[in-house]
Amino acid sequence: MITVFDIMSVVFTLAFMLAIGGSISESYGIGWGIAAAVVVAVIGIRLWKLRMKLMVNKARKQLAELTVDDLRQHLYSRPFSCPNGWTPNFLLMELKARGEDITEHIDLILNMMEDESSFLRAMRRGALYSAYPFLAYKIKGYRPEKPIEQCREKVTELRKIWQIAKNEGHEEKEERKS
């Protein structure tokens, strides 16, 4: 998923490439201008990766302080009401990293994908894609910006698919017990 920060990083890197490359080009020639632009691009990419690494490390440290029960509580609380405003996909991925079964929270995410706010629906779709990719790719045509009725129709279709998959999984477990 592309974020605003990704776009800003690309735009600023391109702007600096043009500004510095153009400035060097005027003074020392086009060859040196291109070389300077390439150096600026490499530095921009490195800074973007460093920023991402620092953000992920900080998030992991903050999430590590929470217990599994705290994570679940934040997951079921109102959007952004927890202290750090964790999105559901952060919380779900942390639960998964701790070895918890996150399939029990699928209904919660599906309910959230039927929210009145298209912004919140979009965030929940992100949680579906990151935490439940096996299910996310079966929801064809779900667009959070569309009217709520269309979103609810798509989520209803996905619920049916999930129920079938859940029942088949239950049958497989019963067969293994026999």
Over the stretch 44-98, which tens digit does the pLDDT of each residue have? 889 888 988 898 888 888 888 888 888 888 888 765 545 556 778 888 888 898 8
Domain edges within the chain: 4-63, 67-177
Contact 71, 94 (CB under 8 A): yes
How many angstroms separate the most distant Cα atoms in the chain? 81
CA distance 178 to 173: 9
DSSP 8-state code for residue 141: T
The model carries a pTM of: 0.63
Residues 116-155: tens digit of each pLDDT: 888 888 878 888 888 888 888 888 788 888 888 888 888 8
Is 2 a residue whose pLDDT tops 90?
Answer: no
Q: Which of 61, 41, 66, 51 is closest to 6 using CA atoms?
A: 51
Nearest alpha carbon to residue 95 among 113, 114, 124, 74: 74
Residue-level pLDDT at 169: 66
Q: What is the mean pLDDT of the chain?
A: 83
Residue 174's pLDDT band, with cuts at 50, 70 and 90, is very low
